[in-house]
Amino acid sequence: MKGPAIYLSNPGLVCCAGKNREDFFAAALRGDRRGIIPLTLRTAGTDRNFLVGLAEPVSAESPRGTRLPGLCAAALEQIRPAVERALGRWGPERIGVCTGSCDNGTEWSLPAHRIFLETGAFPGTYDLHAQGAAAPAEYSAAFFGLRGPVLALATACASSATAIIRGAELIRSRICDAVIAGGADIASDMVLLGFTALEAVSPEPCNPFSKNRRGINLGEGAAFFVLSREKLEEPGIVLAGYGESADGHHLTAPHPEGTGAAKAMEEALAQGSLKPGDISYVNLHGTGTALNDRAEALAMRRIFGDKQPPAGSSKPITGHTLGAAGALELALCWGVLNTPEALPPHCWDGVQDPELPVLRLTGPAGIPAAPEKTSGTATPERQPLAAPEKIHYCMSNSFAFGGCNVSLILGREKTALHE
């Protein structure tokens, strides 16, 4: 591995699948999709129906009326023990913050603009600054009284994954000794309607990599880690590799051959001095859209060839949490490394798309399976689960609008340090 080890604390998180890491991982192992619920919006006199993953309830609602600080507070409180240890070792000036987010308060903006259109003035409590990209980062720093660098990242659905890389770089460049890194996002009316305008929202449960896939279910949540140059708490999980690329193929569509996604995965492996065969599990970006699933499947084939690792998407149980997705899904990989007797099942209808390369998607009870049928819903042939001692490295992919691609690899301390 290039550079000193970057340790990750236990994650703090909240989403529709759980209020903490234990509940979230248990739901993922069950393939529990009950957090995705119907939601109806009335716009211009028309009802629009969605399936959405709402994180309820959240603590510490902001006095400004936005949900995002509440989501952040619920997740940040869970990493307080690691933050306090970091403060004791290095002090607030040596601890930074890197957060990623896409939607910072549009649920507050729309009502304020309605009042403006009706009265000619915004409400007195309306504050545009609270909707800026820096708001979650500033909130996170203030939450713990930190005085190190505070960075806000906005790379669409890769935002919190990008934030984790920037946090690691702050530590490796010796600007910080520890960094709170992660992200948060909400499923606001504007987000729901915006993705509807892109024809990317599915009226049915998200069905990644299926021939029958119709798009995403949106979700909301927050997830944070404390990254540090020294281990702050057990277990010893490290950021074993990371890679980024920017193919810039299209404003919203990925490169059709998945070249940018493959480059990010390739860079993450190289940065960690790893081979494709070292990866025990991949949390796929897996949105359930036609273009993203195709690009990622092609990228997986390019990197892993015929020896595909067990893989799956967690978005069917959390919804697509946008800027929070990278950190939330890395938290799932953290759980896989710490509970290696099972892998989260990939929730789909089992209908292989004949136009996509076959991936080794995890089946029921976390059994890696390679589907062999291209029609019907028959259960694919199951393959044995890897022995727990062989689950050393997990990869998490985040591929976003504008060709912003990030791949992160987590490893166990002894494995990653080659002890």
Distance CA 159, CA 381 (A): 36
Please pick, among 72, 98, 102, 157, the residue that the annotation labels catalytic. 157
What is the Cα Rg of the chain in Å? 20
- 371-382 in b/e burial notation, b at 16+ Cβ within 10 A? beeeeeeeebee
Catalytically annotated residue among 255, 320, 346, 392: 320
Whether 418 is a known active-site residue: answer: no
Neighbours of 192 (CB within 10 A): 18
Decide if 183 contacts 324 (C-beta within 8 A).
yes
**CA-wise closest residue to 250 among 242, 240, 260:** 260
Cα(399)–Cα(262) distance, integer angstroms: 10
Q: What is the distance between the alpha carbons of residues 9 and 233, in angstroms, rounded to a whole number?
A: 6
Is residue 285 annotated as a catalytic residue, yes or no? Answer: yes
Catalytic residue among 285, 333, 346, 394: 285
Greatest Cα pair distance, the chain, in angstroms, is 68
- 403 Rama sector, left if φ>0, alpha if ψ -120 to 50, beta otherwise: left
Distant-in-sequence, close-in-space partners of 118: CB < 8 Å, separation ≥ 6: none
Annotated active-site positions, please? 157, 285, 320
